[in-house]
Amino acid sequence: MSTTVQPVIKCESVYKIFGENAGKVLKKSGGKVDAESLLEAGCVIGVNNASFDVHKGEMLVVMGLSGSGKSTLLRCISRLIETTAGDIFIDGEDLLAMNEKELINIRRNKMGMVFQSFALLPHKTVLENIALPLQVKGISTKDSMERAMTMVNLVELTGCENSFPRQLSGGQQQRVGIARSLAVEPDIWFLDEPFSALDPLIRREMQDEFLRLQSVLHKTILFVTHDFDEALRLADRIAIMKDGIIEQIDTPANIVLNPATEYIAKFTRGVPRARVLSCKTVMAQYDASADMSDIRVSQNAIIETIAERVLSEQKTVAVTDEQDEIVGVLNSKIIIQVLFGEANDIPVNDTAVSQA
Ligand SMILES: Nc1ncnc2c1ncn2[C@@H]1O[C@H](COP(=O)(O)OP(=O)(O)OP(=O)(O)O)[C@@H](O)[C@H]1O
């Protein structure tokens, strides 16, 4: 279905090579660049032949170790840097053909950005920081302050609106950063390691908060992280990068069940399948005559979060869709297979995995 819908972001053979002769070197290579020959030419590869789409309301997490090219890819797509070759389309419009005025316009109205460093102005209050991008757009002080207050409530910082950044914890400061980037109601949200500066507990809290926001806002998101666990928790799909190349792009479940390369398998080894498989991917067919439990679980719930409830039930548990219709069932046997069985024992519904 998604193949016929125009993607919000489309990248086609995007290259970013740093260095004076980047264009020439790429042309000579016919698109098949390798790090060694680049180095000889005094160049460094940032992004190497990236092609992918991001659809409306989807969260694509770009994951990779330091220097793998994540930030460079994000900067190409927000056109903070110029690509060496390739095409990028935003809602079907050719991003690389846009002039300065069109770029400012698209950045102000369509794109929101959040960085690791929070980048708040220290002498302005929370409310003033959040209102700033609205005032840059020419919205009156009164209206922008009102809208900023709505954002303060949205990110659950009510009561902190008149505080200065230094009076807030790291997690609270990043909430301000998030609120500020959301104030202009961007369609596309770029987040570059937004939680990396936070300690692990706060980081997890912020991930939950972020998932809550996304379940309400349905933004199209490009989220950069070097943390595989964070990618698994947040992503609809993950793009794993190495040396500028996207090694695999797929749902968390498919990446864990079918790592495309040995490099990716190193990340996925040891990841419990119950953490990535949803009810939809392992449920069995519903039989109306079966003796059913009163418990119902959502088809999108991750097995880890519902395992105990199903295991404590004698009867079969119904799996429901968004309309609360029964679409399948789970029982202790299936849950035990997911938790303790061999990979091949799990009756994974393939279509559900690839569309998860
Ligand atoms: N302005 C630049 N000039 C030259 N090389 C650069 C520049 N920016 C990035 N690079 C190189 O491009 C490669 C990819 O860098 P990038 O910052 O995109 O990686 P990353 O995956 O985001 O890493 P990190 O997690 O450390 O931020 C690295 O080898 C880096 O040294």
ipTM of the complex: 0.97
- The end-to-end CA distance of the chain, in Å, is 13
Residue 243 CA, ligand 1 centroid: distance in Å: 10
pTM of the model: 0.86
CA distance 218 to 113: 16
Burial string for 201-237 (b: 16+ CB within 10 Å, else e) reads ebbeebbebbeebbeeeebbbbbbbbbbebbbbbbbb
Q: Which backbone phi and psi does 274 adopt, to 5 degrees?
A: -65, -15
Residue nearest atom 26 in ligand 1 by C-alpha distance:
66
Residue type (1 letter), 48: N
* Residue 226 near ligand 1, beta carbon < 6 Å: yes
pLDDT score at 355: 41
* Residue 72 near ligand 1, beta carbon < 6 Å: yes
Per-residue pLDDT band at 345 (split at 50, 70, 90): low
pLDDT score at 36: 78
Residue 143 CA, ligand 1 centroid: distance in Å: 40
CA distance 10 to 92: 8
pLDDT score at 348: 67
* Residue 99 near ligand 1, beta carbon < 6 Å: no
pLDDT score at 22: 86
* Residue 69 near ligand 1, beta carbon < 6 Å: yes
Residue percentage of the chain with pLDDT more than 90: 68
Is the model more confident about 162 or about 2? 162
Q: Under CATH, what is the fold of the domain 54-110+186-271?
A: Rossmann fold (3.40.50)
Residue nearest atom 10 in ligand 1 by C-alpha distance:
46
Question: DSSP letters of 326-350?
Answer: EEEEE-HHHHHHHHHS-GGGS---H
Q: Is the dihedral of CA 262, 264, 270, 274 positive or negative?
A: negative
Residue 48 CA, ligand 1 centroid: distance in Å: 12
* Residue 96 near ligand 1, beta carbon < 6 Å: no
Q: Is the pLDDT of residue 228 over 70?
A: yes
CA distance 221 to 204: 19
Domain ranges of the chain: 54-110+186-271, 274-355
Is the model more confident about 98 or about 345? 98
Average pLDDT, integer, range 187-213: 91
Q: In 3D, which of 220, 178, 218 has the Cα closest to residue 198? A: 178
The β-bridge partners of 240 are 63, 248
**Over the stretch 9-22, which tens digit does the pLDDT of each residue have?**
999 999 999 998 88
Q: Is the pLDDT of residue 294 over 60?
A: yes
**Over the stretch 132-157, which tens digit does the pLDDT of each residue have?**
999 988 899 999 999 999 999 998 99
* Residue 129 near ligand 1, beta carbon < 6 Å: no
Torsion of CA 36, 39, 43, 45, to 10 degrees: 40
* Residue 16 near ligand 1, beta carbon < 6 Å: no
Region of residue 296 (phi > 0: left; psi between -120 and 50: alpha; otherwise: beta): beta
CATH architecture of 274-355: Alpha-Beta Complex (3.90)
Residue type (1 letter), 257: L
